[in-house]
Structure 1
């Protein structure tokens, strides 16, 4: 089986490339930057594909290339996520099995991907990923894998890049995020990166479907609540700090979204500096995923999320010892 993996140096692509090679597939990876691990350089949507990718048909294509930042300008999100999907379409043959890595949040506020209206999505990432799905759906039947927030591998917390939970942790430790706006009891769906890769590989090996088939992994009724996620993250962080001779740090204060938007934020913004206000706005696209009561409906259940989250925080701290050892300074009102 000859398989192309786009975004092969990203969070999911790295794991998929490793897993497919372990399964004996003839795999070619590509990404914007390439790598020494045999990954070709191809900036999808900007450059034409390398000759090595157009010489003969592909048995399967895993399209995992994306910019997963939730605060991109609309034009940048379209260029990163929609143009990259369009760039893959000419490589799809009549029998090619396409596995598209999307996001659980591509269904936006309506619960489906059909709307092109930006107002039907919480941010540019959701909007552009829904558009990317529509581009691929219009050309061929495909498997669409829609993971929620991704954390490290089950075994040791390994992950190629740090986003989502890690950004919240880094923001708080460096003093960029003074409080956590979250629904204490609302579910926060997290899934291990190797679980996502395993789903993708299974679909590659399953062959081309007869229509669109989507898979959303998650813990469902057993998903951790927002407060539980924070407690686990800081419990594991403080265990790491104690082992390295660093005093523990308090977790951020949790404020319920309605109170934050109706009272705390309007009051605070009158007394914050321009840079402090800019930080708050930068984190705005992330808040809905901690503040909603119910926003993901998985059809592929995962288990043991807490153990995976703990391994993920240890892995992050071992690779970011300076950040993991710092103590946040409280915000002060601007004079």
Structure 2
């Protein structure tokens, strides 16, 4: 009798155990046992990158007992905004990746959320800075006036698509007097005084700066331009007289016009030459270039142009062009 009771108790205990486990031949699902969040590691990118396109991603490991990663639960945020086009590779071990393009220069922050099939979620974050290489960055824009005389001023406009530090400006490798006027941290204008002793000709203007602190890595920026200095030679022209040089000229309808060249400046105009005469009514200048010669400051010179005048031309207008040189041989052209 005791043996029978013992066997009966064992059978009852076994039946209770099987019932508690959900019946013979069944087991709990992985989701019921998976109580741990996926482990996330190696977020990319980080630090400085030199392109505006990259891939944001991280690795994951859903350690046993694993319910597997739910791809629909993956969320990737860039600067607080969700990204699309992301892929999740692997079930228990793998990675998440999101290609992005058109990134703006500067700092960016991202967040990657991964969820397993049991609803356990983990988050990993990262940050990076888009700093294009020096070669890829937009160059400095320098706009300078030209053809000013010694002792006068001209402006140098400096612009960039990002902040830059106040530039250094050199004239022929040395310091030059200037004053700055800034519109913003991306543009400014320098007013430069040309040295009084500067001779006419081509001089070198060097503008040097850096785009720091616009990026984590600063790049030097330099523009070297040729700047032309010219003595001021303000020449004007008027008609002194119009006449037939001879009876033969009259018969040939070759008219002479004496043009008076007046030098209103303080510098001598040398080797003045009338080079062109554009005329109306079919009139043609036939003796160009016509030499005027040297015209000292404050004085006048005469240049004579011979015209062939058609019989039906009662009058005509002439538009002249001329050249001159200053004291150091630099050419000036008019107009």
TM-score bracket, normalised by the shorter chain, equals under 0.3
Q: TM-score, normalised by structure 2?
A: 0.24
Higher strand share: 2
Q: TM-score, normalised by structure 1?
A: 0.24
Higher helix share: 1
Q: Larger RCO: Structure 1 or Structure 2 (Cα < 8 Å, ≥ 6 residues apart)? A: 1
